[in-house]
Structure 1
Amino acid sequence: MSLTSRLRVILRSKSNQALTRIEDPREALDDSYEQQVKSLQQVRLGLAEVATAKKRIELQGQDMGGRYQRLADQAQEALNQGREDLARTALERRSLLEGQVAAIRDQYLVLAQQQAQLQDNERRLAERVAAFRTEKETIKATYAASEARVKANEAASGIGSQLGTVGADLDRAKDRVTQMQARAAATDELLSSGALNDVTAPLDADLERQLSAGATRAAVDRQLQAMKEARATNRGPGPNARGGTDAWLSIGQGPSLP
């Protein structure tokens, strides 16, 4: 494979992988879920900031409330001591403090309303994120199961085609074996008949084989003649017909027939 072809294969593989990731709904669902989680985190961060600001104004208002009460006590004590001027000063400061308290009270109420709205938004968004997460995982599980089925079916289909190829290979092997067996039988016949020379046999082996075959035929003819003569003269089964368990020892060891 040339370098250009190899690069083309690599680029095609990477492109297919990228398309697979884009088409995979699980990644899209995960991305959407992450965006919703980020939005929820932003809402919670804003809620924390509003709650902090409201608490700070609340603490400031509590300090002003304590001072407001102390000024009232000081005005009363000044009157008790006959110091009307000090009582007037305390009441003037108390009156000024009332305006400041009214201003921060308005801010406090606005922040309290914002906090309530953010809490409601956070609750509803958290519920949507939780529901989306449940549905996302269900869809991902369904997709994974379907993908597994597709891969299993494709694998089974591939195995089926491979089995067909294997069957064809077996048929071809059987044909070759049959052809080889026929060829072996044919060469055996040719060797036996002398039509095919055995290059591994010693010189003049064909003459030895023919002489041996002729000797065998002559021996068979003599034995057959002896059996006929024995039957004609009632001499029994003929020579070499020994009995007993060791009769096999005499096979080929008896006197030669005339």
Structure 2
Amino acid sequence: MTISSRLRVILRSKSSRALTRLEDPREALDDSYEQQVRMLQQMRQGLAEVATTKKRIELQGQEMGSRYQRLADQAQEALNQGREDLARTALERRSLLESQVAALQNQYTALEHQQAQLHDNERRLAERVAAFRTEKETIKATYSASEARVRANQAAAGIGSQMSDVGINLDRAKDRVAQMQARAAATDELLSSGALSDATAAPDADLERQLSAGTTKADVDRQLQAMKNARASRPGSAPGTGPGSRGGARPQPGTDAWLSIGQGPNTP
């Protein structure tokens, strides 16, 4: 597998995991729930604003009611004092205030109706949000259990993105081992042939190796010639009857015979 192929596999695996996270239904459900909660909060804020406005109008109406009663008292007092002009002025102001109170009452009634409607909508939305939250948690739990089951099955079967990454790493390790083995074998051949020089070897070490190989060959040739001469010097010797043949009785070496190797004549 080339480097570009490995990069494509790795990028494809990472992009697949990223898309899986983006398509996670649990996150989508959480987002929908948060949106509904924000809607509920906005509705409650609107309900609070309507209630505040209604309370302000109620206080203003109470103040107007007090003034309306005070003007009636003032008109009666002015009439008692013979000040009909002051009584008329008080009654005129009282009549004007009465129309203002009527308009304020209409606003108060409209706000009261709006508050009741908002309160009803808020209650229904709160119930839907609570029901959605319960269903959301149930779906998330089911999805998590299914996801855990899939991962367990993939791990048991040796599949999945993580196991694919493991397989890719294993293939890369095998390729590296094979390359290193081939390189080691190639350098061994080059060193033995003399194409590469051993930087740690002593000077003229290559000559020493060649001379040692020649000495070993000459020694083997001498031993072979000695065996031939010894065989020819024995009268009546025939092939297969010598001491080194299968039919001859050859003494078994002792346990310490290896100590004499290389010390005596180099004969088998």
TM score, norm. by length of structure 2: 0.58
How has the CA–CA distance of structure 1 residues 2 and 73 changed in structure 2, closer, same or farther, with 3 Å as cutoff?
Answer: farther
Partner of 2:151: 151
Distance apart, 1:157 and its partner CA: 2.4
2-structure distance, mates of 1:105, 1:141: 53
Name the amino acid aligned to 1:32.
Answer: S
Aligned match of 1:87: 87
Letter of the structure 1 residue corresponding to residue 23 of structure 2: E
- Amino acid corresponding to residue 84 of structure 1 in structure 2: E
Aligned equivalents of 2:259, 2:19: Cα separation in 1: 68
Alpha-carbon offset, residue 108 of structure 1? 0.9
Matching residue's letter, 1:75? A
Question: Relative to 1, partners in 2 of residues 1:6 and 1:70: Cα closer, same or farther, differing over 3 Å?
Answer: farther
Deviation of the 1:6 alpha carbon: 5.8
Instruction: Note the C-alpha offset of 1:92.
Output: 0.7
Partner of residue 65, structure 1 = 65
1:202 to 256, 261, 264: 261
- Percent identity (aligned): 77
Provide the C-alpha distance between the structure 2 equivalents of 1:79 and 1:65, rounded to a whole number of angstroms: 22
In structure 2, the CA distance between the partners of 1:141 and 1:109, relative to structure 1 (3 Å rule), is same
How far apart are residue 62 of structure 1 and its match? 0.9
By how many angstroms is 1:193 displaced?
A: 8.2
C-alpha spacing 1:86/1:137, structure 2 compared with 1 (3 Å): same
Distance 1:75 1:201 in 2: 151
Q: Deviations over 1:213-253 (max 9, x none)?
A: xxxxxxxxxxxxxxxxxxxxxxxxxxxxxxxxxxxxxxxxx
Which amino acid is the alignment partner of residue 123 of structure 2? R
Q: Deviations over 1:68-113 (max 9, x none)?
A: 0111111111122221111111111000000000111111111111
Q: Which residue of the partner structure matches residue 116 of structure 1? A: 116
- List gaps (5 residues or longer) in structure 1: 162-191, 211-258
Q: For 2:129 and 2:84, how far apart are their aligned partners in 1?
A: 65
Query: Using a 3 Å threshold, how does the CA distance of structure 1 residues 202 and 25 change in structure 2: closer, same or farther?
Result: same
Q: 1:144/1:72 Cα in 2 relative to 1: closer, same or farther (>3 Å)? A: same
- Supply the AA of the counterpart residue of 2:157: S
Distance 1:14 1:40 in 2: 38
- CA drift of 1:128 comes to 0.4
Residues matched between the structures, number:
176
Secondary structure of the residue aligned to 1:82 is coil
> What are the Cα deviations for residues 111-143 of structure 1, in whole angstroms up to 9, with x where unaligned?
111111111001100110011001101111111
Residues of 2 paired with 1:117 and 1:83: CA distance? 51
**Cα distance change of structure 1 residues 90 and 158 upon mapping to structure 2, 3 Å threshold:** same
Q: Distance in 2 between matches of 1:200 and 1:25?
A: 81
TM-fit CA distance, 1:9:
4.1
In structure 2, the CA distance between the partners of 1:153 and 1:10, relative to structure 1 (3 Å rule), is closer
State the 1:158 CA deviation: 2.9
Aligned residue in 1 for 2:53: 53
- How far apart are the structure 2 equivalents of 1:201 and 1:73? 148
Residues 17-36 of structure 1: matches in 2 within 5 Å? 17-36=17-36
Q: Name the CA distance, whole Å, in 1 between partners of 2:15 and 2:78.
A: 89
Structure 1 residues 90, 155: closer, same or farther in 2, change over 3 A? Answer: same
CA deviation string 1:35-87 (max 9, x = no partner)? 11111111111111211111111111111111001111111111222211111
Q: Give TM-score scaled by structure 1 length.
A: 0.60
Aligned to 2:128: 128
Q: Distance in 2 between matches of 1:35 and 1:50?
A: 23
**Structure ID, larger Rg:** 1
Q: Which runs of 4+ in 1 moved over 4 A?
A: 1-7, 198-201
Does 2:77 align with 1:77?
Answer: yes
| RMSD after superposition | 3.4
Q: What secondary structure is seen at the aligned counterpart in 1 of 2:41?
A: helix
Query: Residue type matched to 1:8 in 2?
Result: R
Counterpart amino acid of residue 22 in structure 1: L
Give the Cα separation in 1 of the matches to 2:83 and 2:263: 161
